[in-house]
């Protein structure tokens, strides 16, 4: 597959950061047995990978700004273009020696995501998409799965954790989606969950409250693989609030219906309690 100059810049930055993470991941696995634990080491690995991406992209497009997990917003001289970067999506997996993490880079142009790269250095899988150009994993064209009923579908999700999110709501959602589907999976790296939908491994995915760097790149990869990406009401997906539901047209519709049923059940419970 011949990549555009833009995607070449993005994949080179992701590859270089991924190599750094791979070296550090080996050290983290060794540190699992230590009393102190590898948390400080992982923070350093995260910052180092972000610095690599920042330097690579700044060199290629010096006027463009950034929105990064660690640095936050970095204003550029060109107000129309901004890189959205997560140098280590799946930090908790990385911390525990689980090889399910990624470098995620998206390009935002005038508020719209127009290109995305997600690189899993543990499997050497590079997922790419550019608006109107299709989605690819390395050199293989991606298409969302063609399953038509939720009962056949495997659905990915993100779960709230300590101090974050609405745990009670999530349990209602899991109950509904799990009861109507072939199964659910929670792997702990939203960017990789999204590209799993694009690759047809998952039939759908939902998560609330993602940060822009978690979902920006993955969302365009799903779209370019033929998937539907919306918010939970079926409206236009916005990577800033970060509530996302996706799948092929039929699975996406069925998934939204189950999530709505969960909302209705919550409202009924709250009304009864009042």
Check the annotation: does 46 bind a ligand: no
Helix or strand or coil: residue 29? helix
Question: And the tokens for 35?
Answer: 């009393």
User: 39 vs 25, 36, 42, 60, 239, CA distance in Å?
Assistant: 12, 8, 5, 32, 28
Q: 266: which strand partners? A: none
Check the annotation: does 86 bind a ligand: yes
Full DSSP string of 6-18: HHHHHHHHHHHHH
Cβ atoms within 10 A of the Cβ of 42, count? 22
**Which of 187, 190, 178, 186 has the alpha carbon at shortest distance from 150?**
178
| CA 106/CA 86 separation, integer angstroms | 9
Q: 72: which strand partners? A: 68
Check the annotation: does 69 bind a ligand: yes
Question: And the tokens for 22?
Answer: 């791979």
Check the annotation: does 231 bind a ligand: no
What is the number of H-type helices and E-type strands within the chain? 7, 13
Check the annotation: does 89 bind a ligand: yes
Positions at the binding site for Mg(2+): 69, 86, 88-89, 214
Binding site feature residues: 69, 86, 88-89, 214
């Amino acid at each position: 597959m011949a990549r555009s100059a833009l995607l070449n810049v993005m994949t080179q930055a992701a590859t270089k950061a991924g190599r750094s993470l791979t070296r550090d991941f080996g050290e983290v696995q060794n540190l699992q047995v230590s009393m102190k634990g590898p948390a400080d080491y992982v923070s350093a690995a995260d910052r180092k990978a972000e610095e690599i991406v920042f330097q690579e992209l700044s060199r290629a497009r010096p006027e463009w700004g950034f929105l990064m997990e660690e640095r936050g917003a970095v204003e550029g001289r060109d107000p129309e273009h901004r890189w959205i970067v997560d140098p280590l999506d799946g930090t908790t997996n990385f911390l525990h020696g689980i090889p399910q993490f990624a470098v995620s880079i998206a390009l935002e142009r005038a508020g719209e995501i127009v290109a995305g790269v997600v690189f899993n250095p543990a499997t050497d899988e590079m997922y790419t998409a550019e608006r109107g150009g299709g989605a690819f994993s390395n050199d293989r064209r991606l298409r969302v799965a063609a399953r038509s009923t939720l009962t056949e579908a495997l659905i990915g999700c993100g779960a709230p954790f300590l101090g974050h999110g609405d745990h009670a709501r999530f349990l209602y959602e899991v109950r509904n989606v799990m009861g109507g589907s072939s199964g659910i999976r929670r792997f702990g790296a939203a960017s990789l969950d999204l590209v799993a939908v694009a690759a047809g491994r998952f039939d759908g995915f939902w998560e609330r409250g993602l940060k822009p760097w978690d979902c920006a790149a993955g969302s365009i990869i799903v779209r370019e693989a033929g998937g539907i990406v919306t918010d939970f009401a079926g409206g236009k997906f916005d990577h800033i609030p970060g509530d996302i539901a996706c799948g092929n047209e039929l699975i996406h519709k069925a998934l939204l219906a189950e999530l709505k049923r969960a909302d209705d059940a919550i409202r009924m419970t709250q009304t009864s309690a009042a």
